[in-house]
A and B are shown apart, each in its own frame.
Chain A
Amino acid sequence: MHHLEVDGLTATYDGKILVLDGVSIQVGKGEIVSVIGPSGSGKSTLLRVIMGLLKPKAGHVKLDGDEVDYGNKKSVKALRDRFSIVFQQFNLFQNMDALRNVTIAPVKIRKRDAQKVEKEAIELLGKVGLGDKLHSYPDELSGGQQQRVAIARALALRPEILLLDEVTSALDPELVNEVLDAIRILAKDGMTMMIVSHEMGFVREISTEVIMMDEGKVIEVGSAEQIFDNPQTSRCQDFVGKILRH
């Protein structure tokens, strides 16, 4: 049984534009599954739908075999207790400093002990290299720093699965690596992750499985070697060829 099982997931925007067209994927415990594909292929939408931020039209999402009912608030809340998502635009709470961004949900929403959470948060921020920025506000941090705070914030919720939605796409090139390094540390710790990314070198290095998507469909699934060195479908060959050429 897979940890996360997505089966035939379909979603639309405004009820018209089909953005996910029967997507099926599986993620096992400790696996790192990366989703690649051109812009508009539905990668980010896939994560948003799994997270319950956009209601699916059809299909199933199962967590350890239990189906998630996206029409049911309780079911969605239970799912969100086990997942964390990091967004492309960081989305830090602008009215809170770095530490408060990390501690607010565990303390106010999960009702965990404030002091323990704070200690843990300081450790997490230290782990992503921001031990000296605890009391900086988002607008005082660089994009890379903000994104690392966002990662620490997601981890403070102790997720079983971490969803990373193009976390380096909004960063200046020289800041990309500091964020990728933070994710490498998580990978070493055995964190289960679903990564949507355009950083092909990174995807190749870190993924246990790579999924190529286009036009809302899964085109090809395979190991990083297969997808990048020996893609089976012509669409995937085309995409990988275009990317690796520069």
Chain B
Amino acid sequence: MYEGFLDIFDVFLEQSAEFYVWDNAVYLFRAMMTTLTMTIIGCGLGFIFGMIVVYFRRTPGLMFWPVRMTVIFYVETFRRVPFLVLLFLVMFTVKGFGLDFSLFTIACISIVIISTAFIGEIIRAGLDSVHQTQWDTADAMNFSRLQTLRHVILPQAWKVVLPPAFAFFVMFIKDTALTSQVGVLELTQAGKYYNNLGYSAILSFGTVLVLYFILSYPMTRLGWWMEARLHTRRRDERAEFEVGATAYELRGT
């Protein structure tokens, strides 16, 4: 047991010298960027589509009943589908239509489908957090639905939406590891690649683990920073610095 550990340590050190070279760094960096890009594209589009989906879900009137039902069906279904299952589904559907999409595109489409459903729910909860009387008041002043959303509701919903939406985004960075199952060359796939080349699993996947951390931790900090800023922005001419710093420290501890 003890010797086994020493052996692993020995191999780790021995391989490190030839593993941590420039070419591998470039390769890993590109894999890391693939991970990040597909998360950003997937969740970014998911955010936009999520807003559209919520808009339709909240459009009143009998005419929009089928649209509302479709949206609810969509959201409730795709929040329950495992990402890997959806990934295979998208891949084989795309192939079934005879389309020659890259694996990266297929991964992005799958992420968008899932993140639209999840972020849509987050946005809906955020809008619901703004009191109905704000709608009535804007209504009575002849605001249109879009004007009310833009000037009154979204600015208030924003601080309720942002933290969970950002948490979803950061969480999805690691979930994209599943795309390695269909062969997308991202971080996890890169780990597998090096492992297959003969580097020890600890070396390959340990490095990948560290890179995931490097990717997601700054994102988490960015989220905290935006959140703190959001809470204090309107008091910009007064105590922004102190208030911002306090909120920041509180979240940090």
Contact = CB atoms under 8 A, between A and B. Distances in A.
B152 A95 contact: yes
Contact of A87 (B137, B156, B234): B137
B139 A87 contact: no
Given A95-B152, A95-B155, A104-B151, A109 B142 contact: yes
A53 interface: yes
Interface stretch (A77-85, A205-213, A228-236): A77-85
B136 interface: yes
Contact of A91 (B136, B151, B156): B136
A85 B140 contact: yes
A93 B140 contact: no
A94 B134 contact: yes
Residues of A contacting B: mostly = loop
Contacts of A135: 237
A41 interface: no
Residues of B contacting A: mostly = helix
Given A95-B152, A95-B156, A95-B234, A105 B141 contact: yes
B133 A89 contact: yes
Contact of A157 (B133, B136, B138, B141): B141
Nearest to B136: A53
Interface residues of A, number: 24
Given A104-B151, A109-B147, A137-B234, A93 B137 contact: yes
B142 A93 contact: no
Contacts of A53: 136, 139-140
A51 interface: yes
A83 B139 CA distance: 12
Nearest to A104: B151
A80 B156 contact: no
Most buried by A among B136, B142, B152, B234: B142
B104 interface: no
B143 interface: yes
A91 B147 contact: no
A119 interface: no
Nearest to B238: A135
B134 A91 contact: yes
B17 to A, nearest CB: 57
B137 A94 contact: no
Given A94-B156, A95-B156, A95-B234, A87 B142 contact: no
Contacts of A89: 133
Nearest to B141: A105
Nearest to B235: A137
Most buried by B among A52, A80, A93, A110: A93
Given A93-B152, A95-B156, A105 B136 contact: no
23 contacts: A53-B139, A80-B140, A81-B142, A83-B140, A84-B140, A87-B133, A87-B136, A87-B137, A89-B133, A93-B134, A93-B151, A94-B134, A95-B156, A95-B234, A105-B141, A105-B143, A108-B143, A108-B147, A108-B151, A109-B141, A109-B143, A135-B237, A157-B141
Interface of A: 51-53, 77, 80-81, 83-85, 87, 89, 91, 93-95, 97, 104-105, 108-110, 135, 137, 157
Given A77-B142, A85-B140, A105-B142, 19 more contacts: A51-B140, A52-B140, A53-B136, A53-B140, A80-B142, A84-B141, A87-B136, A91-B134, A91-B136, A91-B137, A93-B138, A93-B151, A94-B156, A95-B156, A108-B151, A109-B142, A109-B147, A135-B237, A157-B141
